Structure 1
Amino acid sequence: MLTSQRKRELMDVLRRDGRIVATQMSVELGVSEDTIRRDLRELAKEGLLQRVHGGALPTSPALADFAARQQITPDDKAAIGRAAAAMVQPGQVVFVDGGTTCTQLIRALPRQLRATVVTHSPSIAMELMAHPEIEVIMLGGRLFRHSIVNVGAATLEAIAQIRADTYFMGVTSVHPEAGLATGDFEEAGVKRAMCQAAADTIVLASSEKLATASPYRIVGMSEISGIVLPATTSPELMQPYLDMGIALTLA
């Protein structure tokens, strides 16, 4: 079988099964595991999948830059934002991540809500200018332009001084086995720190992020309290999280 034919077969399996197991594919295609791993490396370089131990998972379209992500599933993100905003109670201190879905959360908050929002996102802070009763605490650091968020040692040091009620986390990938992930090492570290500094972590996951993987793991699924998902999410995709005891909110 030609290399191009193997790669087409691998991508067909990934679309059908949601994962590739290298040992299984080496048997099915009659080639060595090294050959399958080489094919997976080349497909990963093309951005077509995310390699993981033993095989590969679908990559996330949410790895695109901020401007491109604004065009992905905007209706899902607006609905998720409204559902998440309803969880914020007066007087709470909440971490709010950067990103397009968290922007929708801020836009859905009641104008007269009294609360404190801590964020490392300049764009989220600017959105909060329309909420005069919300105290805004900006976390400093180096600006990561791809996601328009601050990262680095200064950001982590500031997070360590805060204990929040809830962290609303944005991610690029959600997978029951691979966990929560994003596309930048330092950004993953900031998200992990906010998760550890909050009593509860709620993940905002639009449809394109589900059952995908990204290069940098944030935390495993056991570290979060709940996920806000689109109402159109299939029962098959939701069941693994329900089995883990994670609260799911359909938006």
Structure 2
Amino acid sequence: MLASQRKQQILAQLAQDKMVHSAALSVQFNVSEDSIRRDLRELAAAGLLQRVHGGALPVSAAIAPFETRKNVQSQAKKSIAQKAVKLIQPGQVVIVDGGTTTTEMIAQLPRDLPFTLVTHSPGIAVGLIDFPLIEVILLGGVLFKHSVVTTGSAMTETASKINADLFFMGVTGVHPAAGFTTGNFEEAGVKRLLSQRASETIVMASEEKLNAASAFAIGDLSLASTLIVDSELDARLQDALSHQGVAVIF
């Protein structure tokens, strides 16, 4: 079998099983693990999968630039956002992550809902100028332009003094083995910190993020109390979420 044919079969198996293991592929194709690792390395370089220790996972499509991501699954994000705003109660302190789904979420907020919103996204903050009952706290720092959020020591020091009721966390991948992931090392650390500052963490995930992974782990699925989705979950992901005590809102 040609290497190109083997790669196509690896991708097909990955799409079906949501995970492949190098050792098992080596036996299946009767080639060395070095050959399989080379295949996976080349497929990863082409952006077709995410390599992990011992194998590979489906790569998340949600790591494109912000402007590109705004047009991905836009209707699904709107549906998810409508469910998310119903979880916010008057008087709460709510941390809102940056991202295209949270940008859609603030557009769905009712004008008569008084609460305090904390964010490290300048875009989220500016989007709430015309909401007189929402107090907005913007966490400053170094601007990470890819996601249009602030990072760095100034941002994390201020965030560490917040005690919030809810944190709406953006992710690029939700996978039963890899947990919640994102495409930037600094952002992963910021998301972990913000999750620690809230009583409950809520993740909103459109279909392209499910059973997919990016390079940097935020945490296990147990990091979230609730996952909001707009499509049915396969049995493996549903079981993993249930085992970790994560409620799912469809």
TM-score class, shorter-chain normalisation, is over 0.9
Q: CA deviation at 1:240?
A: 2.4
Q: Which amino acid aligns with 2:146?
A: H
* 2:26 aligned residue: 26
Residues 58-77 of structure 1: matches in 2 within 5 Å? 58-77=58-77
TM value normalised by structure 2: 0.97
Give the direction of change, closer, same or farther, for the CA distance of 1:234–1:162 in structure 2 (3 Å limit): closer
Q: Tell me which residue corresponds to 1:112.
A: 112
Task: Determine whether 1:90 maps to 2:95.
Answer: no
Alignment map for 1:88-237 (pairs within 5 Å): 88-230=88-230, 232-236=231-235, 237=237
CA distance in 1, matches of 2:191, 2:40: 28
* Pairwise CA distance, 1:235: 4.6
Q: Give the distance between the partners of 1:25 and 1:72, measured in 2 at CA.
A: 32
Change (3 A) 1:131 1:242: same
Question: Any idea what SS the aligned residue of 1:227 has?
Answer: strand
Q: 1:129, 1:239 → 2: CA distance?
A: 41
Q: Distance in 1 between matches of 2:234 and 2:65?
A: 30
C-alpha distance 130-233 of structure 1, shift in aligned 2 (>3 A): farther
SS at match of 1:180: strand
TM-score (norm 1): 0.96
1:39 aligns with 39
CA distance in 2, matches of 1:229, 1:20: 25
Gaps of 5+ in 2: none
1:180-209 CA-to-partner distances (Å, cap 9, x unmatched) read 011011111111100011110001111110
Amino acid at match of 1:175: H
Find the aligned partners of 1:239 and 1:78 in 2 and give their Cα distance: 26
Structure-1 separation of matches of 2:195 and 2:244 = 18
Aligned mates of 2:215, 2:182 — CA distance in 1: 7
Amino acid in the other structure paired with 1:233? E
Partner Cα distance (1:233, 1:169) in 2: 20
Residues 29, 235 of structure 1: CA spacing in aligned structure 2 closer, same or farther, 3 A cutoff?
closer
| Counterparts of 1:128 and 1:41, CA distance in 2 | 44
What does the per-residue CA deviation read over 1:67-125, in whole Å, with 9 as the maximum and x for residues that have no partner? 11111111110011111101000000010001110011111111021100000001101
Q: Partner of 2:51: helix, strand, or coil?
A: strand
- 1:15 aligns with 15
Measured in 2, the distance between the counterparts of 1:216 and 1:107 equals 29
Q: Which one-letter code corresponds to 2:62 in the other structure? A: A
Q: Secondary structure at the match of 2:42?
A: helix
Q: RMSD across aligned C-alpha pairs, in angstroms?
A: 1.1
* Structure 1 unaligned blocks of 5 or more: none
Q: Distance in 1 between matches of 2:242 and 2:181?
A: 19
Q: Distance in 2 between matches of 1:140 and 1:27?
A: 52
Runs of 4+ in 1 over 4 A off after TM superposition: none
What displacement does 1:18 show?
Answer: 1.3
